[in-house]
Homo-oligomer: A and B are copies of this chain.
């Protein structure tokens, strides 16, 4: 019924082994033979059987990409960049490798489940994007899983995620702490002294690092860290909206709001506007990530640009073994402060 490699071999009058060799192009084959085989493939409209091939070769053309939420451009941009690099030449059987995108929702169990599923598929590589959940048992479970994947020959790369100790995983970590610190320093430099901070979910490395950077900047100025000026939420607009209302309730004299990311910052802007406050005249707002829409906000958002596409591309190349891993198995990717319209000197 379905055409197999043996059919192609018969038609081209060669052995199955030879067909396999021309298809994989990883072995010398006479040009004339190759041509004959290729013609047979064409005439028969043959399509290689991926699972069979993966079984025999003990590795597949699949690359797993774990993201918290693919609908969020933060992850979409990285996924897109990774995907662009893993395709193309190289790889077995005709080049292209397929990206398996897994939405974990940031949930530990789902992360582990997907990792197991990818292990089951004998994925050629796995790239984990975004911050990690900070929870000892889970972190240990992930580390164990990554180790097993690596043992089975799967390359493991972390993109925008801190290194995992005792693991062969290559890490490209974002300098969230440094970026956040710079951002808050910018606001302090403008003269702000009463700043609210909308943090991401607790128990997440990204959340913690950004918050630490913010506090470090405050501390350097000798500003006391009032816990009432920090609110935790999710990494979305809605959360920013609600958190801002709460911060305003706690202290109506705030002159700046620093958000966990750009989406949150947009929510903050909306809440301020609806509270009758102007941005930045009454209250300055700052985001993080510099997603594409941030420059279009009115006023445009002051934020920290993270080179998501570049980092993703690099992660993809490393995952494919097309770029050397950084020394020590880890590299820090810095952000860049983007000063724009949403931040200004405090009123009075």
Where the two chains meet, the residues of A that have a C-beta atom closer than 8 Å to any C-beta of B are: 2, 47-55, 60-62, 69-73, 75-77, 79-80, 83-84, 93, 96, 98-103, 113-114, 116-122, 152, 237, 266-267, 269-270, 273, 292-293, 296-298
Contact = CB atoms under 8 A, between A and B. Distances in A.
5 contacts: A47-B119, A70-B79, A70-B83, A71-B76, A84-B103
A117 B101 contact: no
Contacts of A51: 50-55, 60, 121-122
A120 B3 CA distance: 12
A93 B296 CA distance: 47
B71 A120 contact: no
Given A2-B152, A152-B2, A83 B62 contact: no
Contacts of A71: 73, 76-77, 79-80
Contact of A102 (B98, B103, B266): B98
Copies in the complex: 2
B96 A113 contact: yes
Contact of A298 (B55, B102, B116, B298): B298
Q: Which 3 A-B pairs rank lowest in CB-CB distance, beginning with the nearest?
A: A51-B54, A298-B298, A71-B80
B76 A96 contact: no
A147 to B, nearest CB: 12
B98 A117 contact: yes
B84 A80 contact: no
Given A101-B99, A297-B298, A80 B73 contact: no
A116 B46 CA distance: 10
Contact of A120 (B49, B84, B122, B266): B49
A112 B209 CA distance: 43
Given A47-B119, A61-B117, A93-B120, 15 more contacts: A2-B152, A49-B122, A50-B122, A51-B121, A51-B122, A70-B79, A71-B80, A76-B76, A96-B114, A96-B117, A98-B100, A99-B102, A99-B103, A297-B298, A298-B298
